[in-house]
Amino acid sequence: MTDYSVVDRLISNNRLTREECLQLLAILDQDQVKKKLALEACRLREHYYGKKVFTRGLIEFTNYCRNNCYYCGIRRDNKGLDRYRMSEDEIMACCHTGWQLGYRTFVLQGGEDPWFTGERIACLVRRIKEAYPECALTLSIGEHDYPTYKLWKEAGADRYLLRHETASEDLYRKLHPETMSLSNRIRCLRDLKALGYQVGAGFMVGPPGQTMDHLADDLMFLQDLRPEMVGIGPFIPHHQTDFAGEEAGSVDLTIALLSVIRLLLPSCLLPATTALGTLDPLGREKGLMAGANVIMPNLSPTENRKLYELYDNKICVDDQADKCRDCLAGRVRIAGYELVTERGDFQE
């Protein structure tokens, strides 16, 4: 007979051992389990954040990348992609649009573009923080050394998103070239925490070769790192990568994992990701109803968005920023929540 006691233990302790993680993952496809977890996940997020769903204005400012992650559409070896790099003024114009729409958080995301040296990013951070001191500024530009992260923190950056991608050495090797390492990725996350950034980690659900054991490693890693934010989304193949013919990750599993993460890190900021909305038209709404509380509308100029194609069929590439906001506000309302544009800092 199936043993469901692990669900109750997670709900009462907000902790799991690795063994329990595996037990839970084995029953996570069962409706009654998902429902129970989602109910508790929503109760927790409402305890900390009420009905609010926070927005993060996303500016995808460069699609140049020195890395070659096998799953990613903007990897270096994708020669079939037009590359773009926004100028500082163009980035400032996006912030201005975001500001006028009410957004008080900007996320600068990009490939690891060597043109944007540590100093150039620091200048940009200073300029944005000077123009919008009350806004939280998040960087998501990959792996750098401690002095560089420190420079950016001192320039005024508040948060940093760097998904760990997978906490398992063997899966990490299947998804990345030899030049990259899991140990460096984790070193980065620990450096960022030590420097006082609010940190976002996370992983993809269902990349080629991922097993329940790997997911258990991811959950244990998050429980140990305790990041302020966790970004998870289904893997989606990109036609110009080695993984073009692979199957996409499961929407249902991603949604169930959102609930589990909410239970493990009760007050974390948890986005219902664009990847989730790409695979399922109601994916983000379902994510919110399972415990997610953040949405990341795109603020980049529409002509660039198609070129920031991490995976195929990415949604929201044609809508102007104001339309994006209105569309999301409607979706969030349907899910029973309220879209807000304030900074939305992490609650202890």
Q: Which residues of this protein are in contact with ligand SAH, per CB under 6 A?
A: 71-72, 109, 111-112, 140-142, 162-163, 165, 204, 233, 235-236, 238, 275, 310-311
3-state secondary structure (DSSP) of residue 299: coil
Min dist. Cβ of residue 51 to ligand SAH (A): 28
- Of the pair 23, 278, the CB lying nearest ligand SAH is at 278
Min dist. Cβ of residue 249 to ligand SAH (A): 8
Contact between 175 and 165 under an 8 Å Cβ cutoff? The reply is yes
The token duo for 180 is 């990259």
Closest CA relative to residue 331, chosen from 288, 302, 291, 299: 288
- Of the pair 141, 222, the CB lying nearest ligand SAH is at 141
- Of the pair 88, 112, the CB lying nearest ligand SAH is at 112
3-state secondary structure (DSSP) of residue 243: coil
Min dist. Cβ of residue 236 to ligand SAH (A): 4
Min dist. Cβ of residue 199 to ligand SAH (A): 12
- Of the pair 255, 275, the CB lying nearest ligand SAH is at 275
Q: How far is Cα 45 from Cα 293, in angstroms, rounded to an integer?
A: 7
Side-chain-side CA neighbours of residue 9 (13 Å) = 12
- Of the pair 159, 238, the CB lying nearest ligand SAH is at 238
Q: How far is Cα 110 from Cα 161, in angstroms, rounded to an integer?
A: 11
Q: Please provide the DSSP assignment of 118-148 as one string.
A: HHHHHHHHHHHHHH-TTSEEEEE-----HHH
Min dist. Cβ of residue 109 to ligand SAH (A): 5
Q: How far is Cα 282 from Cα 270, in angstroms, rounded to an integer?
A: 17
